[in-house]
Chains A and B, each alone.
Chain A
Amino acid sequence: MGLTPIQHKLLLRRKIVDRLFVALGAALAVFCLSVLAMMIAALIRDGSSRFGWSFLTQFPSSDPEIAGVRSAFVGTILVMIVTAATAIPLGVMAGIYLEEYARKNWFTAVIEINIANLAGVPSIIWGLMALGLLVQYLNTGRSVLTAGLTLGLLVLPIVIVATREAIRAIPQAIREASYACGATRLQTVRYHIVPYAMPGVLTGCIIAMSRAIGETAPLVTIGALTYVAYLPPPPLSERPWLLGTVSGLTFSEEVRTTPFAALPPAFAVGATRAGEIEFDVRLEAAGPSQRTVVNVEDSATLTPAGLAEAVDAVQGVLARFDDDGHLRFESELDEWFLISRDTTGIVEGLGMERGGGRHGFLDWVNSGFTVVPIQMYDWVSRPEGQGFKANAAAAGILLVTMTLAMNASAIYLRNRLRRSIRW
């Protein structure tokens, strides 16, 4: 090529440095990917024996072989619905406001800085905020609603930032074209800004959701349950209930007016079916701010005395007195009895009256819940040798699959929608 030997040597050296850099980059990329691959491989190795259809459809159990994530899986989906319904409209509208409407002054500058700050707040702080504001002050309870709102606030900054980035990517020329046609600000936002920002906004929302799906700390703080053996009531589903008049027992005024969280575990409500005493049903009662559900297994051979022990084993108290001193509870079974530790006996069918009705459209938001990462954490923290490790790994597979699926759909949506939007 007519280069002098020195030029040639220098060129060779530069090319070697170039290749070294490429090799270093590739090695680092492979390293990162292989860490991820090893993690997934470990999850599959430990969890594939448990992962399957029955794992998804079984409630948790003390027997690891039959324990599943049904309630946690459904809980995760429901919490995500509330999270999305909170974070997406609020975040997208806030992003649109900040980009298209807000004048640039010190006030919006303060808002902008604080949105960035919010994104950096540790999630446990959000949990504390939710505990104080939602659970204690607004009385939303340890419910799907509380969890959804908490996670919604947690990911709100992500949605806002993604929306703003997407809007900022729209060339000013497009806005000018719209205004020059005589469009109002709202028409410009409605027909141009929102549609063209949609790929970025959708991607941001999905990223935000996949962040929320794995969050555990704030949900532990608000008191998510680790053991849930029921599903929240579907909208408009049948709602059987019986009204038990507790005339056979006398309760002191103190007992009747004490919030349930503060009561000793003194009462439980059970049901019978085909002559057997069966506690393996949904037992539910709502206190003023407390809703507890238990699931007592192995109850077929319980004697009245045994029942009393079972009542002791029950964590929490399971009834609510209404203003007339009635005890209300719900079940899908027909016959009810009330037991009390004090009387160590069963008071059967005390003035019970059958009611009915349907759940409201949104009753499920007030239901107790657990989510997959919390279920997973519960299993991980069980002592070694009980066989729950495989369940934890299987729950991990589920969680990773959900996250990857969401990210994949984000990438797909972005590519698909971006195809029609070029500048």
Chain B
Amino acid sequence: MNVATPAVDRPESAPGSGSAGGGPLKARVESLNFFYGKFQALKNVSMTIAENKITALIGPSGCGKSTLLRCFNRMHDLVPDHKYEGRITLLPDGDNLIGADIDPIAVRMRISMVFQKPNPFPKSIFENVAFGPRLRGITRKDELMAEVERCLRAAALWDECKDRLPKNAYNLSGGQQQRLCIARSLASRPEMILFDEPTSALDPIATSRIEELMLELKSSVTIAVVTHNMQQAARVSDFTAFMYLGELAEFNSTNKIFMNPGKKLTADYISGRFG
């Protein structure tokens, strides 16, 4: 499984499945089921994540979009009584991310995450970004410094905080904190970043900066983003997956989903009739 199978080979619009047309793929979800104890939170989800694109997951509360996102970096492994079924293939090497033989820590070193509420560590700005490199055994101060600078620049935060790296991260504003979290997620040089409603706790200006940042980052990293904000999905994403009650209701290019949705359910949600 070393070669990305062209998405067009996959059956189009099969119930609960979908694929991103054209371009190389970063990951493929195949018949994914996920259970919290006896409750099935994801039902037979199949979709693809296109490389160096932004894929948005939308849907009403409780539809399973965050659950799906958290399968990619095995966050569910932190709580007992979870069960994965199916496959999430990370390309190009073809590892099954949810395979029992795959170390979740190895997965998280390749796929990092940005959370809903900015959650910097209550440490200095420097230490927040340096945490990832330190975990990997980098101890030399100059190497760490170079890495911290690279990530802060990539997160468009360098100019604002280069003079106060030793200051506590909680002295930053909410939007800055979220960009710091993005810098932290970049420090592990991930192949993919998962954004779990990254702007829901931010004001409109901070939100638009995060969105700009995501668009800048996608040239170097694949992005999946869960969002409650339909405009945000329309603005930033290339592909959109609409989820409903644990199933993938529709998956297509963002243009298609928003301009010409294939299902009435999707159209109703997008136009704000429910959700």
Instruction: Say yes or no: A176-B78 contact (C-beta < 8 A), given A181-B135, A182-B105, A184-B105.
Output: yes
Instruction: Say yes or no: A176-B115 contact (C-beta < 8 A), given A181-B131, A181-B132, A421-B122.
Output: yes
Cα separation A215 to B220 with both chains bound (whole Å): 64
Q: A85-108 CB contact bits vs B (8 Å, 1 = yes)?
A: 000000000000000000110000
Say yes or no for B218: interface residue by CB 8 A criterion.
Answer: no
Say yes or no for A175: interface residue by CB 8 A criterion.
Answer: yes
Q: In this complex, what residue of A is CB-closest to B116?
A: A173
Contacting pair B113 A422 (CB below 8 A) = no
Cα separation A370 to B170 with both chains bound (whole Å): 49
Contacting pair A182 B122 (CB below 8 A) = no
Cα separation A94 to B188 with both chains bound (whole Å): 32
Q: In this complex, what residue of A is CB-closest to B127?
A: A191
Q: Which residues of A contact B132 (CB under 8 A)?
A: 181-182
Say yes or no for B73: interface residue by CB 8 A criterion.
Answer: yes
A-B contact count (CB 8 A): 64
Q: In this complex, what residue of B is CB-closest to A421?
A: B122
Contacting pair A177 B75 (CB below 8 A) = no
Q: Which residues of B contact A42 (CB under 8 A)?
A: none
Q: Which residues of B contact A422 (CB under 8 A)?
A: 122, 170
Cα separation A179 to B76 with both chains bound (whole Å): 11
Q: Which residues of A contact B80 (CB under 8 A)?
A: 103-104
Contacting pair B78 A182 (CB below 8 A) = no
Q: In this complex, what residue of B is CB-closest to A196?
A: B122
Instruction: Say yes or no: A183-B135 contact (C-beta < 8 A), given A175-B78, A176-B75, A177-B184.
Output: yes
Cα separation A178 to B185 with both chains bound (whole Å): 10
Cα separation A175 to B119 with both chains bound (whole Å): 10
Size class of the contact patch on chain A: 20 to 34
Q: Which residues of A contact B105 (CB under 8 A)?
A: 182-184
- Please give the distance in Å from A200's CB to the nearest CB on chain B: 13
Say yes or no for B168: interface residue by CB 8 A criterion.
Answer: yes
Say yes or no for A250: interface residue by CB 8 A criterion.
Answer: no
Q: Which residues of A contact B188 (CB under 8 A)?
A: 181-182
Of A103, A173, A174, A180, which one neighbours B73 at CB under 8 angstroms? A180
Q: Which residues of B contact A175 (CB under 8 A)?
A: 78
Contacting pair A182 B135 (CB below 8 A) = yes
- Please give the distance in Å from B159's CB to the nearest CB on chain A: 24
Cα separation A184 to B122 with both chains bound (whole Å): 19
Say yes or no for B230: interface residue by CB 8 A criterion.
Answer: no
Cα separation A171 to B78 with both chains bound (whole Å): 14
Q: In this complex, what residue of A is CB-closest to B107?
A: A182
Contacting pair B109 A173 (CB below 8 A) = no
Q: In this complex, what residue of A is CB-closest to B112?
A: A180
Q: Which residues of A contact B170 (CB under 8 A)?
A: 422
- Please give the distance in Å from A196's CB to the nearest CB on chain B: 6
Of A103, A174, A180, A191, which one neighbours B108 at CB under 8 angstroms? A180
**15 CB < 8 A contacts A-B:** A173-B115, A174-B121, A174-B122, A176-B75, A176-B119, A179-B78, A181-B112, A181-B188, A182-B136, A182-B188, A183-B131, A184-B105, A420-B168, A421-B122, A423-B122
Binding site for A on B (CB under 8 A): 73, 75, 78, 80, 105, 108-109, 112-113, 115, 117, 119-122, 131-132, 135-136, 168, 170, 181, 184-185, 187-188
Complex A-B, nearest 5 residue pairs according to Cβ-Cβ distance, in ascending order: A182-B109, A173-B119, A180-B113, A421-B122, A182-B108
